Structure 1
């Protein structure tokens, strides 16, 4: 399991899932392969990244079980061993989670990502049984637990302690509500030697410090600016936390501010801004499946201006 923990270090990159612009919005296989080739050819290899197939930004919530497996199979095939692969396995059913775990092992992914089931307010004991079911189904498969407190139960410190007893839970994708109890820092500082902590709170300049010990970082920028993620990891490895913070403030924050503006005032979901940014550097694109609405016309200009401001390479001229 130590090898799996080491493999998970670096940028954690959720690949958006492209669809055809047809009424049924079928999976665009050629575009998905182009995404993976772009990431790997740009240097996001096993030294710098893990790719997540069919996560939230990959539209898992709008895809069928079979489509989710197809996406993972394509990503594994196109990556061809150049980079570790995780598969989104979030679901509301323990039985389906076990099926996803078995399928992930068969497909050849290295990790599955799981969160506490949503809709019902499940207890932490429910969630522990849920994770253990997946772990027991495929003991050699790495499991990444994602604390999606905004859609389901927030994981307590004691729950993280219990998850640490499960050998193949190797990653903790950690986000926490911000209070004076410093929940984010508390878990990172106490569990970074047990799990590979993936910072999902955008505290990279802080969380990467030895006192907290995060070794992986959720990086949307990699989908349209892989070099940014490579530089981030290089700066973390040299301990240049001031530069990491500068990168977040000057080049990261404008992206996230635009994302939050869209989320508050136009549509919700995930991956839609990544896709538009990818389109503006010449990659194939699509909308997310509804109910997330298409932002490509309404936010084209603002997105192009944001990308120009932060210095994204390969940016095409705005029509």
Structure 2
């Protein structure tokens, strides 16, 4: 597939699929529950016209899984979508050698993309990160690379670094988040590079980033995991240029989810995917906790989560 085709395939909702685990001592991956998740998403309309699925990203507990588990999760998601949806595989790692293995295996499995962030723990330089990306591109030249700016865990990606990434043909996506400063880093990069990359808005600026002046064409949306129709409506409104309705959706239907997420992270546990999983359980899907050290939120936050889902009008809730 050409870079232009990959960029087009990446447009829409970027849906990070949580990885369910069995509630037993070692928390093995619950493969049948994962298949149920994917069937729920595709059966509710999240196909390639509206979405890309991320297998084994942060909400998919990549940091608690072995290489083999990560690849098995990717294999299951790819098998279930059966070509209906483009699939990205989470390839965050602290090791260039492992990144090359992840890229090669994702390509062999038939994934369209890998998602890569600057290695964490050590404060690597941008030159380190450039070599890291180049290693992935050389290891699997046919797979699209999505660069994710996880500035909160590692070296942030500067405007100059984005310019250098633009010279690597297989880097087709920029999952873009920045701290909020007067320099307007989010807007600067998005407006300058939306023709070169498919920019995935990870800052929840949908009503703004989707405007022609900014040009973002993909959006990280956790609501899709329990309310796929919400993401479908979002993309339809983006295509229609109905920015007032997109703003309403964000404030009335997305913001309560993210506010509850922040409350849990500040007061109970940290990680990713735990609130998605609880919401999915409440709409009738099989679910689980995240692997430790993220603690199980289900009993502590069940009532608050159910109240939030009712507030935003999520479908499929118990009477």
Smaller-chain TM-score bracket: over 0.9
Identify the match of residue 252 of structure 2 among 250, 267, 270: 250
Counterpart position of 2:302: 300
Deviations 1:166-187 (A, max 9, x none): 0000000000010000000000
How far did residue 139 of structure 1 move? 1.2
2:242 to 208, 215, 240: 240
Measured after TM superposition, the shift of residue 210 of structure 1 is 0.5
Q: Which residue of 2 aligns with 1:100?
A: 102
- Supply the distance in 2 between the matched residues of 1:176 and 1:32 (Cα, whole angstroms): 31
For the residue of structure 1 that corresponds to 2:250, the secondary structure is helix
Deviation per residue, 1:193-242 (Å, 9 max, x gap):
00000000000000000100000000000000000000000000000011
Alignment partner, residue 48 of structure 2:
46
How far has the Cα of 1:140 moved from its partner?
Answer: 1.1
1:46-65 pair list within 5 angstroms: 46-65=48-67
Query: How many angstroms apart in 2 are the aligned matches of 1:292 and 1:241?
Result: 36
Cα distance in 2 for residues equivalent to 1:139 and 1:291: 35
Q: 1:315 aligns to what?
A: 317
The counterpart of 2:159, out of the listed 136, 157, 160, is 157
Q: Out of 240, 260, 267, which is 2:262 matched to?
A: 260
Equivalent position of 1:208 in the other structure: 210
Shift of 1:138: 1.2
Per-residue CA shift, 1:223-281, capped at 9, x if unaligned? 00000000000000000011101100000000000000000000000000000000000
TM-score if structure 2 supplies the norm length? 0.99
Pairing 1:144–2:127 present = no
Q: Aligned with 2:300: secondary structure? A: coil
From 99, 114, 117, give the equivalent of 1:115: 117
Query: How far apart are the structure 2 equivalents of 1:211 and 1:222?
Result: 26
1:242 is paired with a residue whose SS is helix
Name the residue aligned to 1:30: 32
Structure 2 residue matching 1:14: 3-state secondary structure: strand
1:68 corresponds to: 70
Where do 5+ consecutive residues of structure 2 fail to align? none
**CA deviations over 1:141-194 (Å, ceiling 9, x no partner):** 000000000000111100000000000000000000100000000000000000
TM-score (norm 1): 0.99
Instruction: Supply the distance in 2 between the matched residues of 1:159 and 1:214 (Cα, whole angstroms).
Output: 19
Aligned to 1:187: 189
The CA distance in 1 between the partners of 2:230 and 2:173, in whole Å, is 23
Query: How many Å apart are 1:316 and its aligned residue?
Result: 1.6
Quote the RMSD (CA, aligned, Å): 0.4
The alpha carbon displacement at 1:136 in A equals: 1.0
SS at match of 1:144: strand
Counterpart secondary structure, 2:298: coil
User: Where does structure 1 differ by over 3 angstroms across 4 or more consecutive aligned residues?
Assistant: none
Q: Measure how far apart 1:42 and its partner are.
A: 0.2
Distance (whole Å) between structure 2 residues aligned to residue 62 and residue 107 of structure 1: 21
1:275 is aligned to: 277
Ranges in structure 1 where 5+ consecutive residues have no aligned partner: none
Q: CA deviation at 1:22?
A: 0.2
1:78, 1:46 → 2: CA distance? 14
Deviation digits for residues 17-37 of structure 1 (CA, Å, limit 9, x no counterpart): 000000000000000000000
- Distance in 1, Cα, partners of 2:183 & 2:23: 47
Q: Distance in 2 between matches of 1:213 and 1:302?
A: 36
Q: C-alpha separation between the residues in 1 aligned to 2:280 and 2:187?
A: 33
Q: Which segment is superposed worse, 135-144 or 185-194? A: 135-144
